[in-house]
Amino acid sequence: MRKQALNICKSIIKWFRKPIVKLLGFNLVNKHTGVYTAQDIAIAQNFSKVIKNILTCSETELHSYDFILRQVTDCKIANMPGGPGGENFGKWEKYINPSGIGLIQSPGEFAEFALYLTDLKIQNAVEIGVCYGLTGYFLCALLQRVNPSVKYYMVDISESNLFCFDLFANILNIKKYIPATSEFFEGEKFDFVFIDGDHSYQGVTGDILNLGQHAQVCVAFHDVYGHEYDGLSGGVCRAWQEFMANYKERFKAKVFSEYPDKWLGIGVGEKI
Ligand SMILES: C[S@@+](CC[C@H](N)C(=O)[O-])C[C@H]1O[C@@H](n2cnc3c(N)ncnc32)[C@H](O)[C@@H]1O
């Protein structure tokens, strides 16, 4: 009975799809799960507004931490488990999206990192591990505002969480490579490489060897203080420490962190 009702709903949506897409500006039919919920639609509409804000922002706004932070908090953040020492989002809690979909980032450190990127000359970028894709859409919008011809490649082993890709592909220079891993691009030289996929030591090290070490402007790693991955042969923390030691002649390290040595953290190796 429930299945029948769902099928009728799907047919109605399919039937009215074209006028609805025209009205809302995006596709209501989720290729993977069937139909987006009202909450998903609200998130997508909200996120579209943020992306448009970024693409049309002034030069002053583009280099303003407050402006970027406001866009980040307007996007909402994903509902993630806290850090291993009981760390949580504290003041950012009110920006968590209860449905779970959002940037898988802590707003303060992510806004600082995004601001840092706006000063770099980036022609092409690759993010390994995109999940919902919202971080990718956000960073691509910023880089595209700086350089309208930038190309942003999104890589993941699974498409099951990717949110409204087609909607954002209409306005952003994004391209998805899913399912794929960094191995597919082995040895390619991207200006900006963002490593946030397999969080095991072997996984991160593989991403460094395949892509990170070849970054022309910078390579970034999410979770350089993510001790919840220590059990995976040392996880991101160990891989980051080794990267800083082994590549110090080629990359200058810096970290954006609100929870130093405890949780999350975005480590960046900037090409010297
Ligand atoms: C923490 S999420 C990425 C979060 C995203 N970068 C963000 O900031 O919102 C990790 C993602 O990496 C993907 N993943 C796991 N192993 C991978 C691999 N070897 N290569 C590419 N992606 C991988 C998972 O499917 C998952 O979607």
Given pLDDT bands bounded at 50, 70 and 90, which one contains residue 72?
A: very high
Closest ligand 1 atom to the C-alpha of 102? 9
How much of the chain exceeds pLDDT 90, in percent?
75
Q: Atom 6 in ligand 1: which residue has the minimum CA distance?
A: 130
- Residue 38 falls inside a structural domain: no
Q: What's the rounded mean pLDDT across residues 27-31?
A: 52
- Residue 45 falls inside a structural domain: no
- Residues ≥6 apart with Cβ < 8 Å to 131: 104, 156, 161, 162
The answer on pLDDT for 163 being more than 70 is: yes
The answer on pLDDT for 19 being more than 50 is: no
Q: What's the rounded mean pLDDT across residues 27-46?
A: 68
Closest ligand 1 atom to the C-alpha of 223? 1
Q: Which residues line ligand 1 (CB under 6 A)?
A: 103-105, 127-132, 134-135, 155-158, 161, 181, 196-198, 203
- Residue 232 falls inside a structural domain: yes
Given pLDDT bands bounded at 50, 70 and 90, which one contains residue 174?
A: very high
Beta bridge partners of 30: 34
Q: What's the rounded mean pLDDT across residues 191-210?
A: 98
Identify the CATH number of the domain in which residue 87 sits.
3.40.50.150
Question: What is the span of the domain harbouring residue 113?
Answer: 54-271
Distance (angstroms) between ligand 1 centre and the Cα of 71 equals: 23
Name which residue leads in pLDDT, 251 or 10.
251
Chain mean pLDDT for the chain:
90
- Residues ≥6 apart with Cβ < 8 Å to 184: 155, 177
Q: What is the pTM of this model?
A: 0.90
